[in-house]
A and B are shown apart, each in its own frame.
Chain A
Amino acid sequence: MVYKLKVNKKDYSVDATPDMPLLWVLRDLLGLTGTKFGCGMAQCGACTVHLEGEAVRSCVTLIARAAGKEVTTIEGLSPDSKHPLQVAWLEEDTPQCGYCQSGQIMAAAVLLRENADPTDEDIDHAMSGNICRCGTYPRIRKAIHLAAKLQKQGGTK
């Protein structure tokens, strides 16, 4: 079946079965491999992308749900990789192995959109579903605080 969807502001038509996870569509059909497969059961957050602006787990979100809607992946978070979170992530040297980090950033982007000045507790509530096996949590927290500051200053987009 052919589905139309908009990914990172570009229109795509993909031939997929209705039960194909969005993650498969992104990685295997569209070649957008920045989004990672972690657990395959919505437990770890590595596959987090935005569907109509919400941080869905693309491993359990079927293409049928995403059809006709707007999807944003890590590749489309900003046109020039200068989203405050991306800048802050580099600044704080946040990743270790890096595998979970695109999911972490996509989750944090929803937090910063809805709460421009998050406390540690807000960060916990937003990010506790995104697991990092390297344990980079303290650096993730620092980077989110920095990104909030950058966002306020408007120095990066």
Chain B
Amino acid sequence: MGWKQISGRLGLAKAQSQQWMTDYQQTGDQALLAKLFMLHADALYFFLLRQSNAELAADISQQSWLKLLEQRQQFQGGCSFKTWLFCLARNALLDEFRRQQRWGLSEISDITETTLFSEAEPNSAEQQLSQMQQQQQLESAIQQLPVLQQESLLLQLEGFSLAEIALISNSNTETVKSRLRHARTRLVSLMEDKP
């Protein structure tokens, strides 16, 4: 499934969220906010969880939603609701990291181009086992990615466009592209290094 397909599938939810948020701004109807919460709470939490820990992710999630309550008039509609929400959350997380002084902005290391994966088609049982192993390797490899690369990758997997990722991570699209490219190359390299 390509990114265009994912984006298309998510487009409806995006438009719906936008409408709910606009209506919520105008009416203050908590039911609309509750709908937004139910739709995006897990995604936001997971994004925060991957970059912190369960306790902090839950706390920042809560802060973000309460901030949204407080600052709902600041949403101008220049970006999607979800992008705005993730911006709020990321800023809150950064503030917390700064407070704890644990924001390790790793330098993006040079990565050489490599090829990966065997061309051979394994049988079903082997395929399942192999898939599980690959998933574990992937999990481990993602954890080893530099923070900003991991962040861009997670946001892309969540369905954000390059422009949206740039907005959330306060970068430009070229930088995001570069991070994503490096992230994938690094992933391949890390997974190849595994026995």
Partners in one complex: no
